Amino acid sequence: MTTIDDVARAAGVSVSTVSYALSGKRPISAATRARIERAVRELGYRPHAGARALASSRTNVLALMAPLRVDVNVGVIMQFVTGVVTRAREFQHDVLLLTQDDLAGVDRVAAGSMVDALIMMDVEAEDPRLPVLRAQRQPSVLIGLPRDPGGLSCVDLDFEAAARSAVDHLSQLGHRSIALVGSPQAVLDRHTTYAQRMVRGFESEARRVGAQAVFEPCESSHAGAVDAVDRVLDRLPEVTALVVHNEVALPAVLATLRERGLDIPRDISLVAVCPQDVATGQPQPLTAVDIPALTIGGVAVDMAMARLERDEPAETRLLAPVLTPRATSAPARA
Amino acid sequence: MTTIDDVARAAGVSVSTVSYALSGKRPISAATRARIERAVRELGYRPHAGARALASSRTNVLALMAPLRVDVNVGVIMQFVTGVVTRAREFQHDVLLLTQDDLAGVDRVAAGSMVDALIMMDVEAEDPRLPVLRAQRQPSVLIGLPRDPGGLSCVDLDFEAAARSAVDHLSQLGHRSIALVGSPQAVLDRHTTYAQRMVRGFESEARRVGAQAVFEPCESSHAGAVDAVDRVLDRLPEVTALVVHNEVALPAVLATLRERGLDIPRDISLVAVCPQDVATGQPQPLTAVDIPALTIGGVAVDMAMARLERDEPAETRLLAPVLTPRATSAPARA
DNA sequence: CTAGCGTATCGAAGCGCTTCGACGATCGAC
DNA sequence: GTCGATCGTCGAAGCGCTTCGATACGCTAG
Considering Cα of B285, then B157, then B198, then B99, what sign does the dihedral take? Answer: positive
Best of A41, A114, A256 to substitute, by most chain B Cβ atoms within 10 angstroms, is: A114
Residue closest to sugar C1' of C20 by CA: B16
Q: Of the candidates B89, B95, B102, which has its C-beta nearest A96's C-beta?
A: B95
- What percent of chain B lies above the pLDDT cut of 90? 87
pLDDT for B220 equals 85
Chain-chain contact of B50 with A47 (C-beta, under 8 angstroms): no
**pLDDT tens readout for residues A298-332:** 999 999 999 998 888 999 999 999 999 999 999 99
Cβ-based neighbour number of residue B176 at 10 Å? 17
Counted residue by residue, chain A has a size of 334
Interchain contact B52–A (C-beta under 8 A)? yes
> Edge-to-edge strand order for the sheet containing B269-274?
B212-216, B177-181, B241-244, B269-274, B287-290, B323-324
CATH number of the domain that B22 lies in?
A: 1.10.260.40
Interchain contact B98–A (C-beta under 8 A)? yes
In this prediction, residue B85 has a pLDDT band, given cuts at 50, 70 and 90, of: very high
> Is residue B130 assigned to a domain?
yes
**Closest of B137, B119, B143 to residue B63, by C-alpha:** B119
Q: Of the candidates B49, B82, B252, which has its C-beta nearest A113's C-beta?
A: B49
As a rounded value in angstroms, the CA-to-C1' distance for B310 and C27 is 36
HEC-encoded secondary structure of B58-105: CCCEEEEEECCCCCCCHHHHHHHHHHHHHHHHHCCCEEEEEECCCHHH
Task: Report, as an integer, the average pLDDT of B274-303.
Answer: 94
Pairing of strands A117-120, A140-143: parallel
Give the integer Cα–Cα distance in Å for A125 and A17. 51
In this structure, are A126 and A207 located in the same domain? Answer: no
Give the integer Cα–Cα distance in Å for A270 and A327. 9
Considering Cα of A40, then A46, then A49, then A50, what sign does the dihedral take? Answer: negative
- What percent of chain B lies above the pLDDT cut of 70? 99
Contact list in B for residue A251 (CB cut-off 8 A) is 251
> Is residue B228 assigned to a domain?
yes
In this prediction, residue B209 has a pLDDT band, given cuts at 50, 70 and 90, of: very high
Chain-chain contact of B99 with A82 (C-beta, under 8 angstroms): yes
In this structure, are B242 and B257 located in the same domain? Answer: yes
The tally of domains found in chain A comes to 3
In this structure, are A207 and A232 located in the same domain? Answer: yes
In this structure, are B168 and B284 located in the same domain? Answer: yes
C-alpha radius of gyration, chain A, whole number: 25
Cβ-based neighbour number of residue B86 at 10 Å? 17
**pLDDT tens readout for residues B224-234:** 999 999 999 99
In this prediction, residue B70 has a pLDDT band, given cuts at 50, 70 and 90, of: low
In this structure, are B222 and B306 located in the same domain? Answer: no
Contact list in B for residue A68 (CB cut-off 8 A) is 78, 81-82, 85
- A vs B: CB pairs below 8 A: 136
Chain-chain contact of B94 with A109 (C-beta, under 8 angstroms): yes
CB A327 within 8 A of CB A284: yes
User: When comparing pLDDT for B334 and B242, which is higher?
Assistant: B242
pLDDT for B71 equals 62
In this structure, are B252 and B106 located in the same domain? Answer: no
As a rounded value in angstroms, the CA-to-C1' distance for A57 and D20 is 16
Interchain contact A54–B (C-beta under 8 A)? yes
Give the integer Cα–Cα distance in Å for B263 and B260. 9
Nearest nt by C1' to A16 Cα: C10
| DSSP-based three-state secondary structure for B232 | helix
As a rounded value in angstroms, the CA-to-C1' distance for A136 and C13 is 28
- What percent of chain A lies above the pLDDT cut of 70? 99
CB B158 within 8 A of CB B169: no
What is the span of the domain harbouring residue A103?
61-157+293-319
pLDDT for A74 equals 82
Cβ-based neighbour number of residue B5 at 10 Å? 11
In this structure, are B136 and B88 located in the same domain? Answer: yes
Query: Which run of H or E residues covers position A95?
Result: strand A94-99
> Is residue B332 assigned to a domain?
no
In this prediction, residue A263 has a pLDDT band, given cuts at 50, 70 and 90, of: very high
In this structure, are B168 and B273 located in the same domain? Answer: yes
> Is residue A30 assigned to a domain?
yes
CB A220 within 8 A of CB A71: yes
The DSSP 8-state label assigned to residue B175 in this structure reads -
Interchain contact B298–A (C-beta under 8 A)? no
Contact list in A for residue B99 (CB cut-off 8 A) is 82, 85-86, 89
Contact list in A for residue B95 (CB cut-off 8 A) is 96-97
pLDDT for B69 equals 73
Interchain contact B47–A (C-beta under 8 A)? yes
Chain-chain contact of A50 with B59 (C-beta, under 8 angstroms): yes
In this structure, are A274 and A286 located in the same domain? Answer: yes
**pLDDT tens readout for residues B228-267:** 999 999 999 999 999 999 988 998 899 899 989 999 999 9
Interchain contact B252–A (C-beta under 8 A)? yes
Nearest nt by C1' to B112 Cα: D16
Considering Cα of B285, then B291, then B294, then B295, what sign does the dihedral take? Answer: positive
**pLDDT tens readout for residues A77-120:** 999 999 999 999 999 999 999 999 899 999 999 999 999 999 99
In this structure, are A284 and A298 located in the same domain? Answer: no
Query: Which run of H or E residues covers position A55?
Result: helix A49-56
State the smallest CA–CA distance between residue A83 and chain B in angstroms. Answer: 10
pLDDT tops 70 at residue A126 = yes
In this structure, are A97 and A15 located in the same domain? Answer: no
Task: Report, as an integer, the average pLDDT of B4-11.
Answer: 96
> Is residue A332 assigned to a domain?
no
Query: Which run of H or E residues covers position A22?
Result: helix A15-23
Find the residue in A nearest to B60 (Cα). A114
Give the integer Cα–Cα distance in Å for B218 and A120. 36
> Is residue A333 assigned to a domain?
no
Burial class, A317, CB count within 10 angstroms (exposed 0-12 / middle 13-18 / buried 19+): middle
Chain-chain contact of B49 with A283 (C-beta, under 8 angstroms): no
pLDDT tops 80 at residue A223 = yes
State the smallest CA–CA distance between residue B32 and chain A in angstroms. Answer: 24
Taking CA atoms, A320 is separated from A155, A157, A176, A198, in Å, by 11, 7, 25, 13
Best of A54, A91, A301 to substitute, by most chain B Cβ atoms within 10 angstroms, is: A54
In this prediction, residue B192 has a pLDDT band, given cuts at 50, 70 and 90, of: confident
Counted residue by residue, chain B has a size of 334
In this structure, are A42 and A90 located in the same domain? Answer: no
Give the integer Cα–Cα distance in Å for B181 and B232. 8
Burial class, A279, CB count within 10 angstroms (exposed 0-12 / middle 13-18 / buried 19+): buried
In this prediction, residue B311 has a pLDDT band, given cuts at 50, 70 and 90, of: confident
Best of B41, B69, B94, B286 to substitute, by most chain A Cβ atoms within 10 angstroms, is: B94
- Nucleotides of strand D within 7 Å of the protein's CB atoms: 7-12, 14-21
Q: Of the candidates A1, A70, A96, which has its C-beta nearest B96's C-beta?
A: A96
In this prediction, residue A72 has a pLDDT band, given cuts at 50, 70 and 90, of: low
pLDDT for A70 equals 64
> Is residue A171 assigned to a domain?
yes
**Closest of B230, B270, B225 to residue B249, by C-alpha:** B225
pLDDT for A156 equals 97
> Is residue B327 assigned to a domain?
no
pLDDT for A282 equals 86
Q: What is the mean pLDDT of chain A?
A: 94
CB A197 within 8 A of CB A145: yes
CATH number of the domain that A109 lies in?
A: 3.40.50.2300
pLDDT for B310 equals 87
**pLDDT tens readout for residues A44-71:** 999 999 999 999 999 999 999 999 876 6
